[in-house]
Structures are given as structure tokens and as C-alpha cells.
Amino acid sequence: MGVHPTSLEGERPVTPRTAAAPASGYLTTGQAAARIGSTPQHVRGLIRAGAIEAIDIAKGRVRPRFRIPEAAVAQYLAAATVIPQEIAS
């Protein structure tokens, strides 16, 4: 199985790079981190692990610059939500 050109060996692929940042509906890693109560580094780790969808807007072979769809953050939060249940006595 081949590795996607924008992913590191053994990591899940990230959507291919685009020419420019999307106009709206996308968040930076910092904005996404603020919404989930985390850090930009943690968000980048979630992207590399495939837990949050993202696009890489960096040009050339430079450090990735991710943009995360707002819907992907909402989906991640919905999946991470814990619903308390009563414990039977």
C-alpha cells in the first residue's frame, strides 16, 4: 500500500495541498484548538492520526499549514461527547 505524498510514513493521508486558503467555513489549528479546548499541537496530532479532516494549504515542500472544516470540528466534538448514564444498583 502506497503512502500519500503529503503524509508521513505510516500516517493517515491528509487532503492534498491547495493553492490558497479557503475563503470561509475553515479554521486554523489555533481556532480549532480553542473550540475543542486543546492546543494547536494537539489538533495537528489529531489531523495526522486521521481523527479530524483537514487540508494542507502550504506551498512546496514546507511545513504543513492546515485548515480544518468547521463541520469536521463539530463532528469530532460530537463523537467525543460523553453522555452520563445511571449505574444500576
The answer to whether residue 38 is domain-embedded is yes
The helix (run of H) or strand (run of E) holding residue 68 is strand 66-69
**What domain count does the chain have?**
1
The answer to whether residue 16 is domain-embedded is no
Report pLDDT for 13. 52
For residues 18 and 66, the answer to whether their CB atoms sit within 8 Å is: no
Domain that holds residue 31: 26-79
The answer to whether residue 6 is domain-embedded is no
The answer to whether residue 1 is domain-embedded is no
The answer to whether residue 2 is domain-embedded is no
The answer to whether residue 42 is domain-embedded is yes
The answer to whether residue 9 is domain-embedded is no
Query: What cell does 42 get?
Result: 494537539
pLDDT tens digits, the chain, 89 residues: what are they?
343 444 444 555 555 545 555 668 999 999 999 999 999 999 999 999 999 999 999 887 788 899 999 999 999 999 998 888 888 77
